[in-house]
Structures are given as structure tokens and as C-alpha cells.
Structure 1
Amino acid sequence: MGDLLVYISLFLIWAMLFYHAFLMLGGYLHHSKYMDFKRLISKNPPSLPVVSVLIPAHNEEVVIDDTLRAMTKLQYPKDKLEIILINDNSSDQTGAIGEKFSSQFPYIKTVHTRPPYSGKGKSSALNYGLTKSRGEMIVVYDADNLPEPDAVMNLALALANDKKAGAVVGKFRVINAGKNLLTRLINSETLTFQWLAQAGRWYWFKMATIPGTNFAIRRSILEKSGGWDEKALSEDTELSIRVYNMGFHIRFFPAAITWEQEPENLRVWWKQRTRWARGNLYVILKYFLQFYKLESKKVLLDLFYFLFTYYLFFGGVLLSHGIFITNLFYDLELTIGPVSYMLLIAGFLLFVTEVCLALSLEKDQLTKKNFVTVLFMYFTYSQMWVVLVIYASFLEAKRVMLKQESVWYKTQRFKQPAEKNHAS
């Protein structure tokens, strides 16, 4: 029986490792080709659309001044650009800072949420901002983002030149990556996710997931689909499923770059990632249980990926850990023992290879310090995710059984040094 459980856990773990290796190959190939698309759309640009940039903000006075200054540097015709700061029930100076910029720059508008939109979370704030916008393309940035000057232009050109795209997703970089060990770990995770999951899925399947920031979407899609789901803690993943189901694809275009802040301590990281995990579990339950109603069966590919990641893969890791710990105190008489150890070592080496390949695709990221961080990452940061998913699953199951409302957690921000260099 013990050997059978080991075989099951190894199958689940290695199935995901092989799939990730397949995606990483796609990410590498996409990295070598996406600039061809950029050159193509830059040669014969179409008539630029009116773009509305929505920035939902709740108590963001620590970062919002820097964000709005970055918006004033966007290289996009100002007569076709509107920046909308959505001050969502803030009790600090967020609204006042926004109004100051609005008085100086005619294309920046500050709106203050009103019932029934106010204080209900990011999705509700975005829906309110949508009602106040006029753009045929909607771009979203979080309140801590510093997009590079050509970011919105790249998003708009990519979406205008790809009629099958419902949305275009850019790349985000970690602005405080060098702050401490945690931010270095997050930086490695972020780059791996984008070049493996985003670029890899786009290259092989013409699929990507809308992130919470740095993306452009057609206004017509939002209006037809009813805007953002206000019950979803992971509103970006949920919106992605609806875009697929309407027959569009989501393009990953890493030429559009923004810099964002990541948690600098474990408490903030835990709360943020728990919200992400619970949000993805909500999406799995919402759509997997009614998959027969989906018009685009391609959506099942993404749903199965989330299902495999959050239940089967993490379940396999948990089972493997359980067998290992049990065998320390009670002899399970495993005959596969030596083989399983070799496979676990090989899995660790494959994990390190995938992350290092992702880092190598970014300038000055595959350093000795980051390499050591990746080695450390497997035994610490990755294992924390296992515990976090178990905790998030418990909270989400409790919410469903008790019919509780989802409570939005706003990630705590930190003031960044003024002299920070954001160049990629």
C-alpha cells in the first residue's frame, strides 16, 4: 500500500513538472519571437483608439503620487487618453492627491465611489470607474504601479492589431526585488510565472491569464459580459474565463512593462496570496461545476490547469511529504525508496533549471545571488505555498458552507526610495 501511495504522489508531481517544462520551452520560444510582432505593429500603426486607464485606489497615499507621476509620462496622444483614479472610500489623502493631479493635467480625472459601489473591493471600484470612462479600450493598473512610458502604447497597438484578442496582457517587474530575501523569492516566482505560465501557454495554446494590472481589454467585452465579478477575490482570473468563453484569446505581450511593489514581510505576503488562492478556488468551483454550459470548451484546458495545480499537484506533494515523515517513525517497508529519492532529486534539479531559464530571459537576473535564492526557494518558499493552499481551501469551503460574503483584503504598500531606478 505504501509503494502505491508513493507511485501516485510521484505521478502527480512529475506530471506537473513535465507540463511546466513544456510550458517553459514555449516561453523561451515566445521570448525569441515577440519582438517580431512589435516591429510589425510599429510599421503600420492603425488609428489609435481612445484609451481609458482605470486605477482603483483605497487608502493608497503612500504610493499614489508616484503612480500618477508615471501616468503623466505615458507616450500616448493626450487627446485620446484619460487616466481615471477611482478613489474607493479612502480615509487618507488618496483622493486629495488625485484631485491635485486632476487640476494640473486635464486628461487625469479623479472620481469618488458612491453606493452601491463604494468600499466593496477592487471589482466594484473598477465597475464604477467603467461607468465614468469613455475609452473603447480599457487599461487597468494597480495603485502601486509605475508603467514604462511606452506601456499603454504597446498594449493599445497590440490589441488594435489582433482582432481575435479580447485582451492583451503585459509584463510586470518587481520594483523592490532587492529589498530582502522574501522579495527576491517573489521576484523569481514572478518572472517564472510570466515566462512559463503566461508566455508558455500563449505560445502553445494562445491562452494567457489576465493579471490584476497592466492589461488592456475591449470595452465591448466588459459591457457585454457585465463588467467585473464583484464576488470574485481573484477578479482577473474570473474575467479571463469569460473572455475565452466569448470566443476571444488573450495575448501575452511582454513589450508592455510595468513595475510593481511586492510584499516585504510574510504577514502581508500570506494575506495577499491567501486571497489569490481563494479567488482561484472560487473560479474553479464557479465554472468547473457548470462546464457543460461553457460555449468555448477551450476554457476547460485552463480550468483543468488550475484544478491540477491547486488540488492534484499540491495533493501529490502533501502525500509525498506525509509518507516521508511517517516512514521516519514507522517502517512502511517501501521497496521504491531509493528510486523515489532519485526522482525527487531529479525533480528538484528540473525545478531549478526551469526557474533559472526564466531568470536568464531578463537582463541581469541570473546572478549568483539569485541562483542561491532559487536553491533555497524549493525548500522554503515553495513549501509555504502547500500550507497556504490548504489554509485557503479551508477558508473557501467554510465560506461556501456558511454562505458567507467574500471579504476583500487590500495589500499593504511600502514607500519606495525616490532614487530607485526602474529601467529594465
Structure 2
Amino acid sequence: MRIFSIITALLVCAVIYAVVMERERLVEFANGFRAAPEDTMDADSAENDVEITLEEPEPDLPEGTVSVVVRRSVAEEVDSAVLLRGRTEAARQVEVRSETSGRIISEPIRAGAFVEEGQLLCEIEPGTRAAALAESQARLLEAQARLPEAQAQLPAARARLAEAQASLTAAEIDSNAATRLSESGFASETRAASASATVSAAEAGIESATAGIQAAQAAIQAAQSGISAAEAAVLRAEQEIENLQIFAPFEGLLESDTAELGSLMQPGSLCATVIQLDPIKLVGFVPEAEVDRIEVGATASARLATGQQVAGTVTFLSRSADPQTRTFRVEIAVDNTDLSIRDGQTADILIASPGQMAHLLPSSALTLNDEGLLGLRIVDETNTARFAPVTFLRDTVNGVVLAGLPDIADVIVVGQEFVTDGVPVQPHYQELSQ
């Protein structure tokens, strides 16, 4: 039985070869057995015989022509989306740390608890900070008391200056009179010298009074500086007391226990980690070839590793590429009121982008050229095969959606692997259901 199967297969191959490769000779052979003209046929037998007709021979085709099945495809506008691989990320995450030292006196709050904004997380033992505040306040009162005393010295110094200026004016008048009388011979030179000495003494008195004013002003400035220093000391003491209590900066979940009762805190010691998960962010990284297809405000959806479907809008698109991967960070805000989405989950993200013209074709029509580019074999107006590179958009149950082709293209769907660029083809068209 096996030998008959082999013989049958060989006969089928021979027939296929004769039909495909030796078609012209087969047609010529068949033409030799055409029926005789009607005038030589017997009239009685002509009524019973069936007339044999053969197809007209097809026009001559170039040597090497290959028969292929072609589908005429018309481009249609399809929704487009950018597919990214990303992860979920908390909207905010803060490590709340101590700003002072001391022992914890508050009971710890366990990880996973929900905390409100301003809720007390850790409290540190006050120690002697209240006494330090009282001392600073006392020094402030002392400095404030010095200011009126220094201010009172200024009017007295100004009065002495006015008195010295009046004495100088009187001495200058006496000196001028004594000098004129001495020059006229009505007064002695001794009197003129005495009047000049009085002027010098008055000038010295002015300088002393001016120095007294400056000293009073310096005392006022010193008193004001003392007040400022005392106020700063009070503020430091008050801030030190405020730092004894550590509050939640925003509402969220505790990612760790708060500091344990009795533990010693130092500046920078961790009190707790608080994360905010509503809204949550989807973070992905866009290749530079597709970054122009994404806009802030675009709608997006994602499928988490758990199977959960979520949707949101693009809130951020980086203007600077990562120097290592040459990709751009994109963030999508997603509602997470029930806190069902966790930080760090893997997500397949689809970001909507403007539609584009594309063709829906069977995936079997795809092929590769010698350079390894993905594309299709199409038939041009001269019935010649050409390679056309394409861009793969997405896969569907009806075929693959491809871009990069002309709006109307004759695509080889059967036989594309047997032709290369420039090979003449005989297309047999097929209806396209798109």
C-alpha cells in the first residue's frame, strides 16, 4: 500500500509541475486535438456529441513570471496607542526623621496603619528644654530693660552738644571783638589770647558732646542687639520644644513602625515612613522614537500583574532623556480611593495617541528582506514584485495592523516567499474583508 501512495504523490507532483512550469507547451499540445470543422462532421453524430472548447491561451508572460495571490488592501484610520512596560509608584513617600535628640516616650504605631495629616507619630522626652526656654525668656527681658536706659542717655548727650555749640558761638563772638579791639589798640593782646583759648575750649566741648551722643547711640544699638540675640535664643528653645513631637506631613499609610518606646533618637534618626497611594502613579519609560506620540493630558489604561485594569491621564512627560537608556519618563495619575493598588506593581501601559492610516492584513503575509527588515511583498503597476517595509502596530484576531504602506496597496498574500524585488509576477486577486 505504501508504494501506491508514493506513486500517487509522484504523479501529483508531475501534474503540478506541468501545469505551473510547462503551461505554454501543455496548451499547445491540447490545441492539436481540437475538434474538426463542422462541415466535415457527420450531421447525425453532431447532435449527440458534446463540443469541446478550450480556454484561449493567455498572453505571453516574461520569462520567470511567478503566479501569486494578491489582495488589494485599502488603508483605514485606526486608533493608535503607545505600549509601555512600567510600574506603579506612590504619589508621595517621606521618611519622617527626628531633628533633635532624646528618648521616645510615645507608644509606637504599627506599620500599615492609616494616619491623618498632622497626626502625632513620635514624641521625645523634653528633659531640661523647658528650663532652657525660661532662661532665654529671662535674658530677653533683661536685654529689653537695658534699651530704655541706653535711649535715655541720648537726649542728655544731645543737650550737652547744644550747650557746647552755644558756648562756642559766644566764645567766637568774644574772640572776634577782642581781636578787633586789640588791633585798634583799645584792648590788650592778653585779652585776645584769652578769648581765643575760650573758643578752643568750646570746640573741645562740642567734640566731647558729639562723642557722648555716639556713645549713647552705641549703647542703644548694643541693647537692641542684646534683645535680638535673646529673641533668637527664645526661638531656638521654643523650636527645640516643638521638635519633641513629630507629626505626619500628609495623610497616608505607615510603611514601617514608628520609633519604639524608650529608643534613643538622634538628629536624623528615622521615626516612620509614610506613603500616599491615592492617587497613585503609573511610571513608564518611552523610547525616543515614540515620545512625540504622547501628550500631557492623554488618556491611558494599564493592566497590572494581578489582572486588574486601571485608567488615568498622563500628568508628566520628561523633557530630558535618561543618559543610560535614552528613554523619557512618563507619569500617569490613577484613582486609588480603595487603596487596592500597591506601590511597585508591574503594569502594561497603553497610552492613547492620535489615529493613523493602517492596513489590516494576515500575519502570514509578513516576510523579511535580506537586511532583516520586516515588511510585505507588493505588486506595482508593472506587475513586478517589490518589498515594502512596514511598522507593526498591533495584533488582532482578524490579522495584524500595519502602517507604512501606500493608501492602496496590492499585497502578495500567497507566494511572497518565492519572489524577490524585480521579479515579474502574475497576480490573482482576492477579495479583502477588512
State the TM-score, normalizing by the size of structure 1.
0.20
Relative contact order, higher structure (CA 8 A, sep 6+): 2
Q: Which has the higher helix share?
A: 1
Q: In terms of Rg, which structure is larger?
A: 2
State the TM-score, normalizing by the size of structure 2.
0.20
